[in-house]
Amino acid sequence: MTNPLFQPLRIRSLELSNRIVMSPMTRTYSIEGVPGRDVADYYRRRAEGGTGLIVTEGVAIDHETAVDHANVPNLHTPAAQAGWRKVVDDVHAAGGKIVPQLWHVGPLWGAMTQMDPSLKPMRPSGEWGPLGVTSYSAAYVERAQASTEAMTEQDIQDVIDAYVRSAKHAVELGFDGIAIHGGHGYLLDSFFWEGTNQRDDAWGGDLERRTKFPAAVVAAIRAAIGPDLPIIYRFSQHKQQDFTAKIAETPEELGVILGALVDAGVDVLDASIRRFDVPAFEGSDLSLAGWAKKLTGAVTMAVGSVGIGKSLRDSRIEGVAPVVDNIPQLEERIGSGEFDLIAIGRLHLADPALASTLRDGGPLPAFDRAVHEGSLI
Q: Which of 42, 43, 163, 186 is catalytic?
A: 186
Give the pairing of strands 178-181 and 231-236.
parallel
Measured CA to CA, the distance from residue 90 to residue 112 in angstroms comes to: 29
Please choose, from the candidates 212, 193, 211, 181, the residue with its C-alpha nearest in 3D space to the C-alpha of residue 127.
193
Angle between helix 251-264 and helix 212-225 axes, rounded to 10 deg: 30
Cα torsion 316, 75, 261, 19: sign: negative
**Cα→Cα distances 266→175, 209, 217, 234, 257, Å:** 17, 18, 11, 10, 12
Secondary structure, 3-state, 100-161: EEEECCHHHCCCCCCCCCCCCCCCCCCCCCCCCCCCCCHHHHHHHCCCCCCCCHHHHHHHHH
- Give the distance, in angstroms, between the CA of residue 218 and the centroid of all CA atoms in the same chain: 14
**Cα→Cα distances 209→12, 199, 205, 213, 234, Å:** 29, 10, 6, 8, 19
Please choose, from the candidates 226, 237, 212, the residue with its C-alpha nearest in 3D space to the C-alpha of residue 178.
226
Residue 281 CB-density burial (10 A; 0-12 exposed, 13-18 middle, 19+ buried) = middle
- Any residues with CB less than 8 A from the CB of 249 and at least 6 apart, and which? none
Q: 186 an active-site residue?
A: yes
What are the catalytic residues?
186
